[in-house]
Amino acid sequence: MMRQNFYTAFFAAGITLILTCLMVGVKLTSEGTELRVVGATAAQWTWIFGGIAIVFLSQLFRDQISAATAGIPRPNLEAILPAESVRSRLKPWLIAMVIVGLFIWPFMVSRGSVDLATLTLIYIMLGLGLNIVVGLAGLLDLGYVAFYAIGAYTYALLSNYFGLSFWICLPIAALMAALFGFVLGFPVLRLRGDYLAIVTLGFGEIIRILLNNWTSITGGPNGISGIEKPTLFGLEFNRRASDGGTTFHDFMGIDYSSSYKVIFLYLIAVVLVLAVLYVINRLMRMPVGRAWEALREDEIACRSLGLNRTVIKLSAFTIGASTAGFAGCFFAARQGFISPESFIFIESAIILAIVVLGGMGSQLGVILAAIVMTILPELAREFQEYRMLLFGLLMVLMMRWRPQGLLPSKRPHMELK
């Protein structure tokens, strides 16, 4: 017993040493004929060996430790959390608090954080849209970024050629993306699974290559720059007003600050996400939402019950695409510059990863996963070159131990009487 624990402890200590050295950045370098360890100061070595000693001892006396702590009572989660009825009564208040928090938050943090949050909100929108197609209707779409691109280019082109404003273009971009979703939906109605994935993958590439080569209109790889920013009832957020325009800071009589624009964009994104969230939440509890899920579960049974699968599939494609259109339009407005570079396949893959990571069909899961997927890469900037490696590792681990996602969707509980 003791002997086996000794081996385990020895092994654990060895792994701790290797991992710590890797993370702290200890390196072996050769100086002449000698090998030398560099990268850690004496103080750091003390900490490293201290940690290793703790791991070693805790593993060695594992049985004794667990015997000693067995008597300590563990907190009972059920007793701490309020009862189901209280929880459901608290829910609207909690949601209200989160929403208020979302609106107050940008005024208290740095410009960079607000900007990052805006990006996260774009990915939340995209994740929610793709969640309809993949998570609910079960149609694997690998070319979702195409609708995002269509939304972005719709605004960029309309703004560039016709001078239309952001607010007019927002619904147009969504409609345009929906139209393309509808058009793509038709040929793929009979396809399922892998075949559908390949066709949608092709569609995504067609759109990107089209944007890349249609130089006379889209500017090709150079993209479109100088896209107008959104205005607040006609008030601009630039330092100087354009011809006949008024700027926000002049109107309010305050000094110009570039962070107003960032916060304003963030607030638009919050409003858009809340709108999308509300609509999709309602749809999921409506006949059409249930029909999407039923179609995913069993297409033949759907047909036998009088459900028209053509209409159901097309509605899933169309509504999913229009959400991406919204996101795309906002993206173009925020960046001020777009090019086909922004709409490559890897974007589709990331959006799909958000849906899968969050838990298919779960809205809260998608939101959480979108936050994880956009904030983690920012935090791990030093590991730039390992980013995709970490991303892949995360996916492998998730599929191995939690295939249902971070927050799997829960079936709604319905009272009959």
Partner 1 sequence: MSQLLLDVNALTMRFGGLVAVNGVNLKIKNRQIVSVIGPNGAGKTTVFNCLSGFYIPSDGSVLFKGEQIAGLKDFHISRKGLVRTFQHVRLFSNMTVIENMLVAQHRHLNTNLLSGLLKTASYRRLEQESMDRAAFWLEEVDMLAFANREAGNLSYGQQRRLEIARCMVTQPELLLLDEPAAGLNPNETKQLDELIVRLRDEHEISVLLIEHDMSLVMGISDHIYVIAQGTPLADGSADEIKNNSDVIKAYLGEE
Q: Is 304 an interacting residue with respect to partner 1 (CB under 8 A)?
A: yes
- In order, the DSSP letters of 78-134 are HHHSPPHHHHHHHHHHHHHHHHHHHHHGGGTS-HHHHHHHHHHHHHHHHHHHHIIII
Q: Which residue has the tokens 């919050």?
A: 270
The nearest distance, CB 276 to partner 1, in angstroms, is 12
d(CA 225, CA 211): 14
Give me the amino acid identity at 233. F
CB of 323 to partner 1, least distance (A): 14
Using CB under 8 A as the binding rule, whether residue 97 contacts partner 1 is answered as no
Question: Quick check: 307 binds partner 1 (CB under 8 A)?
Answer: yes
What angle, 0 to 180 degrees and rounded to 10, lies between the N-to-C axes of helices 387-401 and 363-379? 150
CA 57/CA 59 separation, integer angstroms: 5
* Residue 297 near partner 1 by CB under 8 A: yes
Nearest Cα residue to 185 out of 319, 325, 281: 319
How many other C-beta atoms can be found within 10 angstroms of the C-beta atom of residue 141? 32
288 vs 344, beta carbon nearer partner 1:
288
Binding of partner 1 by 302 (CB under 8 A): yes
CB of 271 to partner 1, least distance (A): 17
Q: In angstroms, what is the minimal distance from the CB of 189 to partner 1?
A: 13
* Least separation in angstroms between CB 126 and partner 1: 21
CA atoms within 13 A on the CB side of 15: 9
Least distance to partner 1, CB of residue 170, Å: 18
Q: Residue 250 or 293: which CB sits closer to partner 1? A: 293
Choose, by CB under 8 A, the member of 309, 345, 372, 375 that binds partner 1: 309
User: Does the footprint of partner 1 cover residue 298 (CB under 8 A)?
Assistant: yes
For residue 356, give Cα distances in angstroms to 74, 81, 132, 149, 351. Answer: 33, 29, 12, 22, 9
Interface with partner 1 by CB under 8 A: which range of 144-152, 163-171, 298-306, 388-396? 298-306
Q: Does 300 bind partner 1 (CB under 8 A)?
A: yes
Beta bridge partners of 27: 38
- Residue 402 found at the interface with partner 1 (CB under 8 A): no
**Shortest distance (Å) from residue 318 CB to partner 1:** 11
Q: Which is nearer to partner 1, 89 or 410 (CB)?
A: 410
| SS3 state of residue 339 | coil
Residues in touch with partner 1 (CB under 8 A): 279, 282-283, 286-288, 290-291, 293-294, 297-298, 300-309, 411-414, 416-417
